[in-house]
């Protein structure tokens, strides 16, 4: 019998049904603590933003708030959720490559602290909207340093053709963007932001990113008299999905980032006072489990399938990125492997495969399959494909458990529909 946070998996299934998303809330706390304890510096003011796109709900945001994190939000919906969780709007940082006028107005009206300006047009729009009003806003400008961290192609955002940020190769657009922000008395231009990818295993990628941003800050001060005080290096810290994954420990990531910042500041004297990071996946991924009930089993000439009662509707990552996961059958963890199987979901799509190949013991209909490391970009990317209701989300901690998002009903799914 397996347990999550001292709660038997069987009890969770009996109480809430499947498919079910379960977070070990103690594991979430440990990760938050690990980041806050280690991202500290005598030299710089430091801040950690929880990248809420990884998993946004009031309960997780309340935890992040408890540990003093800021929030990275990429939509008004994410801002609304953070505010509903009790966040001080000043601690919300608004991202996104295509914020509409309505989005910006919403952020200004709600008193959001910082906007990460993605491009020249956004700077122009923000300038027009805020000039002469009572609103004030801090801004960072997202730059694309052209560093591509080693990760799957579709989740790399730092390459030169990325839709995010202004390429450092496009210096004139970057200067124009910053000048617009600096010339507006309601706007404070604080510095640069970049995010070079996700599920990054190499420290060197962050070192290169930091060097590039400090060099840019030094260069801009010298050439254009543009100074800045803040740098935000984004997220991208890896999580363990399978035994092939060996992420850099959080302490090491934090030490590397902060020591590189110190070295660069000693070398270049840019005037940077505050450094920020934006972890998402590394906070929530490993704390989350998806529980499924095994339905039918099927053999084809080349495969043995295990069908489960969820799929790409609650976890699209395997179909979208060929993301790999590990799983086990509840209560059979120590049983010998019987065969290599493919775990497939119940959606009407051939690509609805959750795990291509996994060694499993003898599996029977009615068994519970526990998929590990499902806490990031799983529920967050869930859809209603095939009109499957979204699963419930539960927090388990020290032998207790509680619902943090109720299971959707069929009625919820048609609630907004008109005849």
Calpha distance 62→84 (Å, rounded): 9
Calpha distance 286→31 (Å, rounded): 9
| # residues contacting ligand PLP (CB under 6 A) | 18
Of 16, 50, 55, 237, the residue at the interface with ligand PLP (CB under 6 A) is: 237
Calpha distance 188→225 (Å, rounded): 15
Q: Which is nearer to ligand PLP, 280 or 288 (CB)?
A: 280
Q: Does residue 355 belong to the site contacting ligand PLP (CB under 6 A)? A: no
Q: Which is nearer to ligand PLP, 48 or 393 (CB)?
A: 48
Calpha distance 165→114 (Å, rounded): 16
Q: Does residue 236 belong to the site contacting ligand PLP (CB under 6 A)? A: yes
Nearest to 43 by CA among 234, 270, 220, 339: 270
Of 146, 279, 288, 345, the residue at the interface with ligand PLP (CB under 6 A) is: 279
Tokens describing residue 388? 């499957």
Tokens describing residue 386? 């095939």
- E strand map for 255-362: 274-277, 288-299, 304-308, 327-329, 339-344, 353-360
CA torsion angle for 88, 381, 360, 15 (degrees, to 10)?
A: 60
Q: Which is nearer to ligand PLP, 73 or 120 (CB)?
A: 73
Q: Does residue 72 belong to the site contacting ligand PLP (CB under 6 A)? A: yes
In the stretch 90-109, what mask flags binding to ligand PLP with x, by CB under 6 A? -----x--------------
Helix, strand, or coil (residue 103): helix
Of 234, 247, 345, 378, the residue at the interface with ligand PLP (CB under 6 A) is: 234
Q: Does residue 247 belong to the site contacting ligand PLP (CB under 6 A)? A: no
Q: Which is nearer to ligand PLP, 55 or 307 (CB)?
A: 55
Q: Which stretch binds ligand PLP (CB under 6 A): 86-94, 232-240, 354-362, 407-415?
A: 232-240
Cβ proximity of 235 and 47 under 8 Å: no
Tokens describing residue 115? 């906007």
Q: How far is the CB of 237 from ligand PLP (least distance, A)?
A: 6
Q: Does residue 360 belong to the site contacting ligand PLP (CB under 6 A)? A: no
Q: Which is nearer to ligand PLP, 321 or 385 (CB)?
A: 321
For the segment 14-53, give every residue that binds ligand PLP (CB under 6 A). Answer: 51, 53
Distance spanning both ends of the chain, measured CA to CA: 48
Calpha distance 133→78 (Å, rounded): 25
Angle between helices 76-84 and 101-110 (to 10 degrees): 20
For the segment 156-175, give every residue that binds ligand PLP (CB under 6 A). Answer: 157
Calpha distance 164→162 (Å, rounded): 5
Nearest to 128 by CA among 174, 184, 178, 177: 184
Q: Which stretch binds ligand PLP (CB under 6 A): 102-110, 230-238, 259-267, 321-329?
A: 230-238
Q: Which is nearer to ligand PLP, 24 or 78 (CB)?
A: 78
Q: How far is the CB of 212 from ligand PLP (least distance, A)?
A: 16
Q: Does residue 278 belong to the site contacting ligand PLP (CB under 6 A)? A: yes
Q: How far is the CB of 48 from ligand PLP (least distance, A)?
A: 11
Q: How far is the CB of 53 from ligand PLP (least distance, A)?
A: 6
Q: Does residue 317 belong to the site contacting ligand PLP (CB under 6 A)? A: no
Nearest to 237 by CA among 289, 285, 290, 287: 285
Which sequence positions are flagged as catalytic?
348
Of 31, 91, 99, 281, the residue at the interface with ligand PLP (CB under 6 A) is: 281
Q: How far is the CB of 38 from ligand PLP (least distance, A)?
A: 15
Q: Does residue 195 belong to the site contacting ligand PLP (CB under 6 A)? A: yes
CA torsion angle for 325, 351, 310, 416 (degrees, to 10)?
A: 130
Q: Which is nearer to ligand PLP, 113 or 234 (CB)?
A: 234
Tokens describing residue 303? 């495969």
Calpha distance 107→124 (Å, rounded): 16
Angle at Cα 74 formed by Cα 67 and Cα 272, nearest 5°? 65
Q: Does residue 209 belong to the site contacting ligand PLP (CB under 6 A)? A: no
Q: Which stretch binds ligand PLP (CB under 6 A): 8-16, 101-109, 131-139, 235-243?
A: 235-243
Task: Give the DSSP H or E segment for 251.
Answer: helix 250-268
Q: Give me the residues that bind ligand PLP (CB under 6 A), please.
A: 51, 53-54, 72, 95, 157, 195, 198, 234-237, 278-282, 376
């Amino acid at each position: 019998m397996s347990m999550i946070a001292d709660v038997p998996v069987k009890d969770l299934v009996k109480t809430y049904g499947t498919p079910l998303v379960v977070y070990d809330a103690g594991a979430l706390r440990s990760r938050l603590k690990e980041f806050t304890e280690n991202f500290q510096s005598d030299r710089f003011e430091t801040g950690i933003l929880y990248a809420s796109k990884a998993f946004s709900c009031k309960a997780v945001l309340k935890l992040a708030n408890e540990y003093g994190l800021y929030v990275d939000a990429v939509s008004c919906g994410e801002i609304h959720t953070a505010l509903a969780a009790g966040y001080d709007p000043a601690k919300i940082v608004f991202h996104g490559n295509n914020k509409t006028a309505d989005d910006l107005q919403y952020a200004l009206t709600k008193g959001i602290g910082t906007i990460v300006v993605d491009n020249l047009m956004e700077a122009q729009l923000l300038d027009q909207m805020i000039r002469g009003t009572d609103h004030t806003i801090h801004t960072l400008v997202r730059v694309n340093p052209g560093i591509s961290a080693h990760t799957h192609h579709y989740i790399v955002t730092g390459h030169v053709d990325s839709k995010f940020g202004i390429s450092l190769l496009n210096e004139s657009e970057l200067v124009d963007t910053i000048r617009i922000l600096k010339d507006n008395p309601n706007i404070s231009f604080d510095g640069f932001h970049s995010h070079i990818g996700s599920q990054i295993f190499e420290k060197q990628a962050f070192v290169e990113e930091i060097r590039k941003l400090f060099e840019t800050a030094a260069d801009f001060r010298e050439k254009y008299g543009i100074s800045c005080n803040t740098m935000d290096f984004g997220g991208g810290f890896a999580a363990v999905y399978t035994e092939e994954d060996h992420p850099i420990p959080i302490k090491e990531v934090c030490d590397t980032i902060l020591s590189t910042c110190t070295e660069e500041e000693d070398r270049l004297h840019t005037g940077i006072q505050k450094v920020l990071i934006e972890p998402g996946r590394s906070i929530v991924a490993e704390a989350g489990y998806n529980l499924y009930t095994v339905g039918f089993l099927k053999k084809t000439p080349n495969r043995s399938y295990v069908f489960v009662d969820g799929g790409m509707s609650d976890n699209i990552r395997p179909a979208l990125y060929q993301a790999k996961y590990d799983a086990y059958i509840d209560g059979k963890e120590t049983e010998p492997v019987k065969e290599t199987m493919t775990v497939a979901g119940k959606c009407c799509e051939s690509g609805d495969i959750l795990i291509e190949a996994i060694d499993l013991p003898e599996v029977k209909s009615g068994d519970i399959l526990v998929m590990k490391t499902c806490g990031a970009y799983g529920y967050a990317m869930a859809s209603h494909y095939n009109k499957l209701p979204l699963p419930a989300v539960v927090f388990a901690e020290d032998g207790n458990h509680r619902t943090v998002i109720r299971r959707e009903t069929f009625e919820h799914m048609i609630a907004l529909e008109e005849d």
